[in-house]
């Protein structure tokens, strides 16, 4: 139950929705990316609708994941107000940076393709290569901030007992995946690990709030009299 505000169904729905979006983004990211900038540009040209849909999912996921971080901070604040606030800020900033980075990368590829035939094919490939390299600088800081926030949430959940210990471990695993982004050159795999862990946290948070709502409803119900 959220301290000081009581369990509310909109928060339950938001948590479940954010978890669902994380899983959708995970599924949309499962296809291996093209190996070279030239192949990436050709793929974007032949799958414009799919790329646009992917960018839209990223934006919606970013928007709804930020409130989820606020719900988690309120849920876990009793065992560490400063750490909970830091985790909320890190997750929110990391999610927004990651969403912005992916959206800009996809938008750049679609814009290059939509601009029409360049003076030479090499010019378009060169521009795609720049964005291919720039995506590293756009997404990795977001993944690392997101990961550190996830790890702190997992640690707080372990200490507080508000969520099951296995959920806390899932959060810490997702956090470690984000923190390893620069040390291990498997950014795509690590990002997928973070997404599935965050999706599990969304569902676990929704279930926790729902159980708190049901418990509050039972507590507020009138007790039957002895003659009934």
- The DSSP secondary structure of 45-62, one letter per residue, reads HH-HHHHHHHHHHHHHHH
Distance CA 63, CA 102 (A): 14
Q: CA separation (Å) from 194 to 121, 142, 187? A: 37, 12, 10
Taking every pair of C-alpha atoms in the chain, what is the biggest distance, in angstroms?
Answer: 91
Q: Quickly list DSSP for 112-147.
A: HHHT---SSHHHHHHHHHHHHHHHHHHHHHHHHHHH
- Cα separation values, 145 from 87, 91, 114, 118, 165, Å: 9, 6, 33, 38, 23
pTM of the model: 0.81
DSSP 30: -
14-50: pLDDT as tens digits? 999 999 999 999 888 887 777 677 777 777 777 788 8
Per-residue model confidence as pLDDT tens digits over 43-94: 777 778 888 888 899 999 999 999 999 989 988 887 668 889 999 999 999 9
Q: How far apart are CA 12 and CA 9, in angstroms?
A: 5
Q: Whose CA is closest to 54, among 135, 110, 125?
A: 110
Q: Sign of the CA dihedral 45, 48, 52, 54?
A: negative
The pLDDT of 211-220, averaged and rounded, is: 50
């Amino acid at each position: 139950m959220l301290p000081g505000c009581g369990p509310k169904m909109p928060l339950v729905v938001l948590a479940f929705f954010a978890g669902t979006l994380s899983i959708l983004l995970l599924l949309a990211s499962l296809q291996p990316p093209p190996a070279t900038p030239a192949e990436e540009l050709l793929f974007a040209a032949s799958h414009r609708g799919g790329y646009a849909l992917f960018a839209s999912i990223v934006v919606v996921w970013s928007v709804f994941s930020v409130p989820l971080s606020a719900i988690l901070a309120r849920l876990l604040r009793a065992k560490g107000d400063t750490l909970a606030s830091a985790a909320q800020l890190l997750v929110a900033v990391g999610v927004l940076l990651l969403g912005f980075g992916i959206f800009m990368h996809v938008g750049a590829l679609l814009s290059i393709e939509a601009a029409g035939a360049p003076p030479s094919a090499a010019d378009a490939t060169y521009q795609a290569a720049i964005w291919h390299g720039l995506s590293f600088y756009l997404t990795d800081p977001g993944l690392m901030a997101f990961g550190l926030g996830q790890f702190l949430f997992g640690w707080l959940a372990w200490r507080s007992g508000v969520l099951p210990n296995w959920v806390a471990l899932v959060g810490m695993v997702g956090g470690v995946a984000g923190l390893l982004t620069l040390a291990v050159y498997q950014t795509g795999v690590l990002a997928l690990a973070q997404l599935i862990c965050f999706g599990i946290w969304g569902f676990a948070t929704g279930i926790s709030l729902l159980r708190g709502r049901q418990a509050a409803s039972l507590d507020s119900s009138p007790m039957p009299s002895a003659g009934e």
